[in-house]
């Protein structure tokens, strides 16, 4: 799964960098402003209602049919809503092309809703090789279409063509890999259970996407497409980095948590292991990115994107939060307990939106800092909720991330000192030397202070049956 996702994101990032050089800031800003509505709708049908198929409950044809038709209905309604709302979006942004772009992107919502069940079947059966090939092939086909359209003068519409081609490829691959086909026979009892589960997870997914897409909408409306473009490029880097690190682990962990619960094993032990690995791998990566944001942006996208460096540095802190929070969310989903998490997520959205509006008269870095601060302030409440579900102390779960955070901060200081000494040198050298320094420093610190996590990582990579002694809740609390 890791290999497939890394290949997919490598394709996506290379294509994104090429298109960013061809199209410029304003095109990406326009698409970010419009795509917020489409991505919000896609998220509601991607891994929402279909996640009930990954819980401990047994599958049946009636349950599969019920999930499929509910998703098809939801996808159709959302697609129509986007089409009808295109005019309002144009007026909201005062950009006539915004409505046209929204109409062009809207079919992806229905397309994704029709693919969610076969993807969930593949995940439940842990057929990750198929999912990996599907993701990589979709990215490659979409990239060819997008770059081809950009080179022939389609401008911002090349980004629309890329998205449509990628989604269509994913549909073909997913349905070709499963034998199940939908039928019209659905159970009323299953419908009732699915609706009971789905209204909570839909609320959670809506909050999750609103949290990362609402800034683009508000920034675009209050500061214009150029500032929205700078925010979009910084978020894209964070999104890609977090996707590379956490998505393979999250994708495998959710059905694994469910399988552990079905088999009567201690899913909490697996949660502790996954949390330890997440902080160990993600925190130093984002700490290094925070320090080396300017050379990274200039090297990847060109000098015109350098003003986004302060935003990327601040968003790197959000990247740490995002990776760790995804693990928490995955465990709650597998346990079928997402009600409190959804409420906390909507509190984050409301407070973050208010912070953005209040700080918008200042500048984009101030807006970003306020946005990130809100999520960090709410985070302890999410740990408390996770502890309640896992029957472990919330503060003890928070401590799992303390050591990697402190070591990552120490590594970042070392990289910052080296980077200061390299002022005046080329951005490529600054990035290479800074990255090498960060890797060496963190590996040395990990060898001294986090040997248990190194052993855990090696054990999981080598697929050993035993990854270490079982975790006692009392030991964790100590």
Mean pLDDT for the chain overall: 84
In this prediction, residue 472 carries a pLDDT of: 42
Residue 186: predicted pLDDT: 66
pLDDT tens sequence across 315-337: 999 999 999 998 888 888 777 78
DSSP string, 131-174: HHHHHHHHHHHHHHHHHHHHHTT-TTHHHHHHHHHHHHHHHHHH
Non-local CB neighbours of 440 within 8 Å, separated by 6+ positions: none
pTM above 0.85, yes or no: no
Among 182-191, 437-446, 462-471, name the most confident range. Answer: 437-446
Residue 466 has pLDDT above 60, yes or no: no
> Which range is most confident: 62-76, 185-199, 283-297, 298-312?
283-297
Residues 438-446 have a mean pLDDT of 94
Q: Is the pLDDT of residue 477 over 70?
A: no
Residue 464's pLDDT band, with cuts at 50, 70 and 90, is very low
Q: Two tokens at 324?
A: 């760790």
Of the two residues 3 and 296, the one the predictor is more confident about is 296
pLDDT, greater one: 70 or 383: 383
Q: For residue 412, is pLDDT > 80? A: yes
DSSP 162-230: HHHHHHHHHHHHHHHT------S---HHHHHHHHHHHHHHHHHHHHHHHHHHHHHHHHHHHH-HHHHHH
* Sign of the alpha-carbon dihedral angle for 417, 422, 424, 428: negative
182-234: per-residue pLDDT in tens? Answer: 887 766 766 667 666 667 777 777 787 788 778 888 888 888 888 888 998 89
Average pLDDT over residues 367-380: 94
95-152 confidence digits (pLDDT tens): 888 888 899 999 999 999 999 889 888 888 878 788 888 888 888 899 899 899 988 8
Residue 255 has pLDDT above 70, yes or no: yes
* Cα(146)–Cα(15) distance, integer angstroms: 8
Q: Output the CA–CA distances (angstroms, integers) from residue 274 to 3, 333, 373, 453, 474, in the order listed.
A: 18, 15, 25, 10, 19
Angstrom CA distances, 161 to 49, 146, 148, 166, 329, stand at 28, 6, 10, 9, 32
304 or 196, higher pLDDT: 304
Asked if the model's pLDDT at residue 476 lies above 50, the reply is no
Is residue 215 within 8 Å of residue 239, measured between CB atoms? no
What pLDDT, on a 0 to 100 scale, did the predictor assign at position 187? 66
Question: Does the pLDDT of residue 378 top 80, yes or no?
Answer: yes
């Amino acid at each position: 799964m890791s290999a497939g996702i890394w290949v997919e994101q490598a394709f996506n990032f290379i294509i994104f960098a090429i298109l960013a050089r061809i199209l410029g800031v304003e095109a990406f800003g326009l698409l970010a402003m419009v795509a917020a509505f489409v991505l919000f709708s896609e998220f509601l049908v991607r891994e929402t209602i279909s996640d009930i198929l990954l819980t401990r409950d047994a599958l049946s044809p009636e349950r599969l049919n019920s999930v499929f038709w509910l998703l098809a209905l939801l996808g159709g309604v959302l697609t129509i809503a986007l089409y009808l709302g295109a005019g309002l979006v144009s007026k909201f942004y005062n950009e006539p092309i915004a409505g046209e772009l929204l109409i062009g992107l809207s079919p992806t919502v229905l397309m994704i809703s029709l693919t969610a069940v076969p993807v969930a079947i593949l995940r439940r059966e842990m057929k990750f090789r198929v999912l990996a090939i599907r993701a990589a092939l979709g990215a490659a086909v979409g990239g060819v279409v997008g770059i081809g359209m950009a080179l022939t003068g389609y401008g911002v519409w090349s980004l629309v063509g890329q998205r449509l081609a990628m989604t269509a490829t994913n549909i073909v691959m997913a349905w070709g890999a499963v034998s199940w086909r939908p039928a019209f026979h659905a159970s009323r009892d299953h419908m009732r259970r699915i609706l009971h589960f789905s209204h909570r997870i839909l609320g959670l997914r809506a909050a999750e996407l609103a949290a990362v897409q609402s800034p683009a909408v508000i920034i675009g409306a209050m500061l214009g497409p150029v500032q929205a473009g700078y925010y979009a490029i910084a978020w894209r880097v964070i999104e890609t980095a977090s996707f590379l690190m956490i998505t393979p682990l999250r994708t495998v962990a959710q059905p694994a948590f469910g399988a552990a619960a079905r088999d009567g094993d201690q899913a909490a032990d697996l949660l502790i292991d996954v949390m330890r690995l997440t902080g160990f791998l993600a925190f130093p990566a984002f700490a290094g990115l925070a320090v080396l944001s300017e050379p990274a942006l200039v090297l990847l996208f060109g000098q015109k994107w350098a003003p986004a460096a302060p935003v990327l540095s601040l968003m790197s802190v959000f990247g740490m939060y995002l990776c760790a929070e995804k693990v928490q969310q995955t465990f709650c989903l597998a346990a079928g307990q997402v009600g409190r998490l959804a409420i906390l997520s909507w509190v984050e959205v409301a407070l973050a939106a208010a912070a953005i509006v209040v700080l918008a008269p200042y500048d984009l870095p101030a807006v970003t800092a306020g946005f990130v601060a809100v999520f960090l302030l709410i985070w302890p409440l999410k740990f408390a909720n996770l502890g309640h579900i896992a029957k472990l102390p919330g503060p003890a779960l928070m401590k799992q991330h303390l050591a990697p955070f402190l070591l990552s901060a120490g590594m970042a200081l070392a990289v910052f000192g080296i980077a200061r000494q390299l002022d005046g040198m080329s951005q490529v050298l600054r990035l290479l030397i800074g990255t090498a320094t960060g890797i060496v420093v963190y590996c040395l610190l990990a060898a001294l202070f986090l040997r248990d996590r190194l052993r855990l990582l090696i054990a999981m990579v080598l697929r050993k049956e035993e990854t270490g002694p079982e975790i006692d809740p009392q030991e964790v609390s100590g």
